[in-house]
């Protein structure tokens, strides 16, 4: 999530989807439980280090509906259930779900498109009155959540939701009467149907008593509702759905060519699951399909989803060809270093400034210029130094890190864009980790001093720490990308804007893990990097099948239940595309230019050359160079006309020249 801000003038990747009884694309394994012989599956458990930082209460926000003993679930698809005075609608794909004053409601939303948005809003659906007066999250993992409904006499029962599971399950803690706002019709043994907005919903509730729209179930018994896709039979679904899912176990692995994800829907020996769109349905995915804001979603008889995306390797410096204008790059690098200003005091703009310095340091190393390398390292060490003091926040109120034990997250002071509430942590901290890794390579003696603070940032965004930090704060394994809002106070769910900064975050994490010699964290970071890069292309920059009348070839804000052509900070088309491109770096060369025709189309739709002078237009210019030799030559000529003082604070002209030279080497 981006709160409004003003930046300073600042061959397709097809998923290899394999399902137990459902295969789309190319299977990565005959048996998803085993996976490829070369894969070493790992669960995203806490592998990070507890923060050795001052404990300070920084945010005024606290969980409103969370059981004792659970880490606050910021940056989740369901965060809106937990935070705020009133619970928000959430989007357990492909459904929409809402807590009500006395129970809950769920819906299979219609897809509505306009020129600038594709929406799947909650629109009534089925409402269930459980007589509840309270609700709280009592269990969750990266993909699923359990909510306990209660009244003055205690627990009424538990609701379980999961992404990729088109079912709402309620298990009664005591005999409970659930009142639906729609009448039920008997359809078969322990099977009933109802309808809302032209959608038929099935209900299985073994042993239940049905009276009109009231369902009475015994203690320990379960009612499960699901929307029946058009053309599918309720009795087939009832036979395919066994016991309710009790949680989703995530695992990941790396092979030489792929980054693999496996989701196991636990607690049942049979059910129906819905993979996120990106692969065509095939054998086993024959239980119908739902229309969603993200395209058609196949329903599959399976308990496991397993798929792979092309593996992206972490990258630091550019590999410059001998044909490049190395002397010109060197001269510009010297100018860029001489013009470097002190970095900002917050974690976003400060982090961008540090990453810029790190890029200059890495460029000097690539050029083999020791004096410039020493100069860049000295500047970076000076600017990064205050942030690496674990006790810095005991001495000052900016350029320091603290641990907030209310929301249980690491906060950089001064906070920016709601970072004290969990917003954008991966964007911010990825810059720091990239910078620290570059400095550690150049000055190994700095590693020990930086380690406590940088380990805290790594643990905050992805490593976790037992009883202190969640193991994957921002990443959604089912969607394959991160969520940027901490508390998600929106009816459309959580959201993410800058897909490229998310990719940069995991690149920085992987580089830091490498200098730390932390193989487990590096493997996790490479999985995150690969998945996020794939999502950046298929969901943001090069999505297919966008419905009319949506009038754009890209999506710049992805939500749980909506896709937007907009930003949090500017309506300019150059900014809308540019926020998907910064920062330029060697990792971007691995995914941004895979389809030169789409690159050219995206630039043309943004305004072509006119966009180069718009907000974040320097990034659009550099992106345009990926479309072909002619475009690269044009970009190189225009870069030489830049006034470095007018550039975004995360970019240096010499780095832009190196980017263009590296493209030419391809």
**138-to-68, 159, 245 alpha-carbon distances in Å:** 8, 10, 15
Calpha distance 659→226 (Å, rounded):
50
Provide the pLDDT for residue 25.
Answer: 29
Among the listed ranges 3-12, 193-202, 416-425, 636-645, which one has the minimum average pLDDT value?
Answer: 3-12
Calpha distance 405→87 (Å, rounded):
23
Is the distance from CB of 617 to CB of 656 less than 8 angstroms?
A: no
Overall average pLDDT of the 546-570 stretch: 97
Q: Which of 168, 119, 143 is nearest to 559 (CA)?
A: 119
Q: Could you tell me how far CA 512 lies from the centroid of its own chain?
A: 20
Residue 665 has pLDDT above 70, yes or no: no
* Pairing mode, strands 96-99 and 214-217: unpaired
Calpha distance 577→622 (Å, rounded):
12
Provide the pLDDT for residue 7.
Answer: 34
Per residue in 63-81, pLDDT (tens digit) is: 999 999 999 999 999 999 9
Q: Which of 5, 109, 4, 10 is nearest to 614 (CA)?
A: 10
Calpha distance 105→96 (Å, rounded):
8
Cβ-based neighbour number of residue 31 at 10 Å: 11
Average pLDDT, the chain: 92
Calpha distance 251→259 (Å, rounded):
11
At 168, which helix (H) or strand (E)?
Answer: strand 165-172
| Backbone Cα Rg of the chain | 25
Q: Give the phi and the psi of residue 291 in degrees, each rounded to 5.
A: -85, 125
284 band by pLDDT with thresholds 50, 70 and 90: low
Residue 137 has pLDDT above 90, yes or no: yes
165 band by pLDDT with thresholds 50, 70 and 90: very high
130's torsion region: left (phi>0), alpha (psi -120 to 50) or beta? alpha
* CB-based contacts of 271, cutoff 8 Å, min separation 6: 165, 167, 240, 241, 242, 245, 265, 301, 302, 303
Calpha distance 504→426 (Å, rounded):
9
36 band by pLDDT with thresholds 50, 70 and 90: very low
3 band by pLDDT with thresholds 50, 70 and 90: very low
Residue 192 has pLDDT above 70, yes or no: yes
Calpha distance 214→103 (Å, rounded):
13
159 band by pLDDT with thresholds 50, 70 and 90: very high
664 band by pLDDT with thresholds 50, 70 and 90: confident
Burial class (CB in 10 A: 0-12, 13-18, 19+), 85: exposed
Calpha distance 372→368 (Å, rounded):
9
Residue 17 has pLDDT above 80, yes or no: no
Provide the pLDDT for residue 1.
Answer: 39
Overall average pLDDT of the 440-453 stretch: 97
Task: Report DSSP state, residue 444.
Answer: T
Which residue would you say has higher pLDDT here, 524 or 48? 524
Residue with tokens 């006395």, as numbered in its chain? 102
Decide: helix, strand or coil at residue 172: strand
Q: Could you tell me how far CA 193 lies from the centroid of its own chain?
A: 36
Provide the pLDDT for residue 645.
Answer: 87
Q: Could you tell me how far CA 95 lies from the centroid of its own chain?
A: 19
277 band by pLDDT with thresholds 50, 70 and 90: confident
Provide the pLDDT for residue 34.
Answer: 41
Calpha distance 361→370 (Å, rounded):
10
Six-digit token pair at 535? Answer: 């999502």
């Amino acid at each position: 999530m981006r709160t409004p801000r003003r930046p300073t003038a600042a061959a397709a990747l097809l998923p290899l989807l394999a399902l137990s009884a459902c295969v789309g694309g190319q299977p990565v394994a005959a048996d998803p439980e085993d996976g490829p012989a070369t894969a070493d599956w790992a669960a995203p458990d806490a592998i990070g280090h507890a923060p050795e930082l001052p404990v300070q209460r920084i945010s005024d926000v606290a969980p409103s509906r969370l059981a004792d003993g659970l880490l606050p679930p910021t940056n989740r698809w369901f965060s809106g259930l937990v935070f705020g005075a009133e619970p928000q609608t959430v989007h357990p794909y492909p459904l929409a779900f809402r807590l009500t004053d006395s129970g809950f409601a769920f819906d299979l939303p219609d897809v509505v498109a306009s020129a600038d948005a594709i929406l799947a809003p909650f629109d009534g659906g089925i409402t269930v009155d459980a007589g509840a007066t309270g609700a709280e999250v009592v269990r969750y993992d990266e993909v699923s959540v359990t909510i306990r409904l209660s009244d003055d006499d205690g627990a009424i029962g538990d609701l379980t939701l999961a992404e990729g599971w088109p079912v709402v399950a309620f298990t009664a803690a005591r005999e409970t009467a659930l009142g639906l706002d729609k009448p039920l019709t008997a359809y078969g043994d322990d099977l009933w149907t109802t309808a809302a907005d032209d959608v038929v919903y099935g209900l299985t509730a073994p042993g239940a008593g049905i009276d009109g729209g009231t369902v009475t179930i015994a203690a320990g018994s379960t009612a499960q509702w699901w929307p029946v896709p058009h053309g599918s039979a309720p009795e087939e679904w009832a036979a395919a759905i066994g016991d309710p899912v009790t949680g989703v176990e995530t695992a990941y692995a790396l092979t030489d060519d792929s980054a693999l994800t496996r989701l196991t829907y636990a607690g049942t020996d049979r059910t129906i699951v819905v993979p996120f769109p990106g692969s065509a349905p095939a054998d086993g995915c024959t239980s119908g399909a739902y229309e969603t804001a993200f395209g058609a979603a196949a329903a599959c008889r399976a308990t496991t989803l397993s798929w792979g995306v092309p593996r992206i390797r972490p990258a630091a410096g550019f590999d410059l060809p001998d044909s490049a204008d190395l002397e010109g790059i060197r001269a510009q690098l010297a100018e860029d270093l001489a013009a470097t200003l002190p970095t900002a005091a917050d974690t976003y703009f400060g982090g961008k400034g540090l990453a810029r310095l790190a890029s200059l340091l890495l460029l000097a190393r690539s050029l083999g210029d020791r004096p410039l390398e020493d100069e860049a390292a000295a500047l970076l060490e000076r600017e990064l130094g205050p942030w690496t003091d674990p006790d810095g926040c005991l001495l000052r109120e900016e350029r320091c890190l603290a641990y907030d034990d209310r929301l249980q997250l690491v906060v950089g002071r001064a906070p920016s864009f709601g970072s004290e509430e969990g917003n954008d942590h991966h964007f911010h901290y990825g810059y720091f980790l990239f910078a620290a890794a570059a400095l550690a390579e150049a000055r190994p003696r700095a590693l020990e001093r930086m380690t406590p603070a940088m380990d805290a940032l790594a643990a905050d965004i992805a490593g976790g720490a037992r009883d202190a930090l969640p193991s994957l704060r921002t990443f959604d394994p089912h969607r394959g990308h991160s969520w940027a809002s901490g508390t998600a106070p929106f009816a459309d769910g959580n959201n993410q804007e800058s897909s490229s900064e998310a990719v940069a975050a995991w690149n920085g994490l992987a580089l830091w893990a490498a200098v730390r010699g932390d193989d487990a964290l590096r493997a996790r970071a490479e999985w995150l990097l690969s998945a996020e890069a794939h999502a950046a292309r298929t969901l943001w920059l090069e999505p297919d099948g966008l419905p009319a009348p949506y009038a754009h070839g890209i999506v710049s804000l992805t939500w749980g239940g909506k896709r937007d052509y907009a930003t949090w900070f500017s309506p300019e088309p150059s900014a809308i595309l540019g926020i998907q491109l910064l920062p330029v770096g060697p990792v971007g060369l691995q995914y941004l230019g895979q389809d030169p025709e789409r690159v050219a189309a995206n630039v043309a739709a943004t305004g072509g050359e006119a966009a180069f002078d718009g907000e974040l237009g320097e990034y659009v210019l550099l992106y345009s160079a990926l479309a072909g030799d002619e475009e690269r030559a044009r970009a190189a000529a225009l870069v030489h006309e830049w006034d470095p003082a007018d550039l975004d604070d995360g970019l240096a002209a010499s780095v832009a020249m190196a980017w263009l030279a590296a493209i030419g080497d391809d």
